[in-house]
Amino acid sequence: MGRRETPVPDGPLREFALELRQLRITAPGAPTYRELAQKANYSPSVLSRAAAGHTLPTLDVTLAFVAACGGEVEEWRQRWTMLQVTLQRAHPDLIAEADEPRDATDGPGEPAPPDDTATGRTAAASTATGRVARARPLPVALVAALAAAVTLAVTLAMTLAMTSPWSSEAKRQVVPPPSSSTPSPTSAYDPVYLDRRLPLPDYDFYFDLQTGVVAEGDGPWSMSTNSGGDGHGAFDLPDDTDVYISPEPSLTPDRCAAQASPAPPYGVRFRQVPPRTLFCLRSRKTGEIAVIKVIETDDGNYAAKIALDYYRPR
């Protein structure tokens, strides 16, 4: 059995790294890093470092990691671009300066990542697959320029789709509606992450609202599910939390703060929030806000799938 990964350190890369780890362990078969390397065409150590939280992996490594796990590549491309721009301003030392070599195995002298020590696959055997390739390092300035170009292209595409004179059906296919409205420049809240899609298998698990992952244990501000008192299921809310169920298709954190009121003891029942409904939570202790879009619920084992936005007060 492989060893546990080292904890992700606190810092601006923590949530990005935790999400990469979550993506791997929830991928079909929960592949080890060595198994992932066969699909991603990067070495296990490169993939392990990508999810370590010490530096931002290159875009190529990130997208190869996500694709090998069956994740949403375009969603992660946008997430990487936004994070790269933020780090370029405040923490440029946390950005990888060059693409890692494309290689299916660890190079000489590189230690295998800790959770893959039991696979027994040798570097020579993987090299024999013929998939070893080397990528020419890219200058930091070029990486930044490419990231800016991707951001501009996405913005232009969304603008054109929203202003197109053609049918509304075509607009819906090009630009899916966001789970909530982006806060205005005068908003009292900063987004930490947006539209995080999370599946809860049953009521033994928790939505960790602060980190945007599904966990087996309760966290400082977590939400789970229960029977709801009526046997049809409900979202079990954290203590000292106010709630607001929106009648509108969008919900900003500022509107949530203005409308939220103390939650009932049974939480928010599934029947109150059918799929596509928005509701929000506000912590009375910290002021943090979670906006939740219900995707689907199951009144059998109280499973749920949501899209989650998380904000902190400025």
Cβ count within 10 A of residue 6: 12
Please report the pLDDT score of residue 131 as a whole number. Answer: 40
pLDDT in the model for residue 63: 95
pLDDT of residue 125: 34
Cβ-count burial of 239 within 10 angstroms (0-12 exposed, 13-18 middle, 19+ buried)? exposed
Specify the pLDDT at position 155. Answer: 58
Per residue of the chain (314 residues), give pLDDT as tens. 445 788 999 999 999 999 999 999 999 999 999 999 999 999 999 999 999 999 999 999 999 999 999 999 999 998 898 898 888 888 888 997 665 555 444 443 344 455 443 333 333 333 333 343 444 445 555 555 666 666 666 556 555 544 444 433 333 333 344 444 555 678 899 999 999 999 998 888 999 999 999 988 888 999 999 988 888 999 999 999 999 999 998 999 999 999 999 988 889 999 999 999 999 999 999 999 999 999 999 988 899 999 999 999 99
| φ, ψ for residue 161, nearest 5 deg | -65, -40
Taking the CB of residue 78, how many other CB atoms lie within 10 A of it? Answer: 14
Q: Does the global pTM surpass 0.85?
A: no
Task: Determine how β-strand 234-236 pairs with β-strand 268-269.
Answer: antiparallel
**Residue 144 to residues 15, 39, 89, 90, 138, Cα–Cα distance (Å):** 21, 27, 11, 14, 10
For residue 12, report the phi and psi dihedrals to the nearest 5 degrees. Answer: -65, -15
Paired tokens of 82: 């936004």
